[in-house]
């Protein structure tokens, strides 16, 4: 099992280009199943979750060709409209094929999703939404089965709580449903907007993406298209925090600053200098001293839960007490005890972590529990004195493209070992 060996204490300096968004590429790949024409996606990151999704798409019956970040999918026929457990047990995004398969094939069988152990991600929100579009849905033997032999029909979907994958799933189902669908309490994340852009380029009729109400007028069929995936805002945010945490000076190019306003505001409050040299770049320079900042995770445009662990690592070096409140997932503080092994002073009380700083971090052997927790431990290792070994880095491989190579290019002393 691979691990990262990190010699900390070196400021990160230089320039780095953002990768395409994993969380945008996953629904985009699922959307390719909605047409029998070829769809080409540019800037697809080479990460483990996307390799799993491509294996799933091949299993379903689509043709896949890849070329250095460019992927073309043609789903002429879909003889196996299912997502088996053995293929998707490590990836929660498997539920994203439920809507497209039900819409295109009239039936779908999808294993309940796996992925990070950070709390419940109830599939019932997807199920209720598809039922509102006329599908018959049941759960048995660990699978969700949806059946709509006469096709889906438009309806009104009102989510009890905001769900990104649920919004994306019903959006893809609705584009081929007869009549109009209204999605209330929809997720407003940039990844939802990017999916809508792709679907519109394929011939869908969608209004309101990026707002809490999305309207979809169903069409009889979609056609092929080409689409470039948006930059990965979580990767960009991770590198912004890394630059601040290590006392570095980083330029991040090919990014979208508007997607990171909540993080940038918190970094400014902490005393970190973040500027926009160009419309698609960000520069971060560390202050002399970091100030403690309170953070509460929220749905977009609030502070992203996927940046909470990394920001906690930053707050271990800030002067004062910071309160970090997690409202999205109930079990997303497992990195706190590992940061404590490195010298951090953190107390967890329910959905709130209390960080007292500054704490001198020292290298230690730590274990990654999930994707973003692994990133926080890597960042802490970069700032710590001495040697840090991060175990179970397969978690970070799920969502970051060649992160150790990118960090090494910025001066970090990090390497992968077996």
The two structure tokens encoding residue 149: 């032999």
Helix (H) or strand (E) holding 205: strand 205-207
412 neighbors 104 (Cβ within 8 angstroms): no
254: left (phi over 0), alpha (psi -120 to 50) or beta: left
What's the order of all strands across the beta sheet hosting 387-391? 365-367, 387-391, 3-7, 413-417
Burial of 68 (0-12, 13-18, 19+ CB in 10 A): exposed
CB within 8 A of 402, min separation 6: which ones? Answer: 46
The whole-angstrom separation of Cα 69 and Cα 147 is 34
Q: Which of 32, 105, 116, 255 is catalytic?
A: 116
Assess whether 116 carries a catalytic annotation: yes
Strand 281-285 relative to strand 290-291, pairing: unpaired
Got the DSSP string for 114-167? ----SS---THHHHHHHHHTT-EEEEETTEEEEE-TT--B--EEE-SS--HHHH
Rounded to an integer, what distance in angstroms lies between the CA atom of residue 77 and that of residue 61? 6
Helix (H, G, I), strand (E, B) or coil at 92: helix
Collect all residues with Cβ–Cβ distance below 8 Å to 311 and sequence separation of at least 6: 241, 263, 266, 295, 303, 324
Distance, in Å, from the CA atom of 114 to the CA atom of 338, rounded to the nearest integer, reads 23
Phi, psi of 181 (to 5 degrees): -115, 135
List, by residue number, the catalytic residues. Answer: 116
């Amino acid at each position: 099992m691979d691990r990262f060996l990190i010699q900390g204490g070196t400021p990160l300096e230089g320039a780095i280009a953002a990768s395409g968004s994993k969380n945008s590429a996953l629904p985009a790949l699922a959307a390719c199943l909605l047409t029998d024409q070829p769809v080409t996606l540019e800037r697809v990151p080479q990460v483990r979750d996307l390799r799993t999704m491509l294996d799933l798409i091949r299993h379903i019956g689509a043709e896949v060709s890849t070329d250095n970040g460019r992927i073309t999918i043609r789903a002429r026929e879909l003889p196996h409209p299912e997502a088996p457990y053995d293929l998707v047990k490590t990836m929660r995004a498997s539920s994203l094929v439920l809507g497209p398969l039900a819409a295109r094939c009239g039936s779908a069988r999808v294993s309940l999703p796996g992925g990070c152990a950070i709390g419940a991600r109830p599939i019932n929100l997807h199920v209720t939404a598809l039922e509102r579009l006329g599908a018959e849905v049941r759960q048995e033997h660990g699978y969700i089965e949806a059946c709509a032999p006469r096709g889906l029909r438009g309806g009104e979907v009102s989510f009890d709580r905001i769900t990104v994958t649920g919004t994306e799933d019903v959006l893809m189902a609705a584009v081929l449903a007869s009549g109009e669908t209204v999605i209330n309490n929809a997720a407003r994340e940039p990844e939802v907007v990017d999916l809508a852009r792709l679907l519109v380029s394929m011939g869908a009729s969608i209004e309101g993406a990026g707002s809490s109400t999305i309207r979809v007028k169903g069409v009889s069929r979609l056609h092929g298209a080409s689409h470039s995936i948006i930059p990965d805002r979580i990767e960009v945010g991770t590198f912004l925090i890394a630059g601040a945490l290590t006392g570095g000076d980083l330029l991040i190019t090919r990014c979208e600053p508007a997607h990171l306003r909540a993080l940038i505001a918190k970094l400014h409050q902490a005393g970190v200098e973040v500027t926009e040299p160009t419309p698609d770049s960000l520069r971060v320079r560390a202050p002399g001293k970091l100030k403690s900042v309170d953070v509460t995770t929220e749905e977009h445009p609030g502070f992203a839960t996927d940046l909470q662990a990394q920001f906690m690592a930053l707050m271990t070096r800030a002067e004062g007490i910071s309160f970090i409140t997690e409202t999205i997932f109930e079990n997303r503080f497992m990195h706190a005890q590992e940061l404590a092994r490195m010298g951090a002073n953190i107390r967890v009380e329910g959905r709130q972590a209390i960080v007292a700083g500054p704490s001198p971090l020292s290298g230690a052997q730590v274990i990654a529990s999930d994707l973003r927790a692994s990133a926080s431990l890597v960042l802490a290792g970069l700032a710590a004195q001495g040697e840090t070994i991060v175990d179970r880095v397969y978690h970070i491989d799920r969502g970051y493209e060649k992160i150790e190579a990118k960090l090494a290019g910025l001066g970090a002393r990090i390497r992968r070992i077996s």
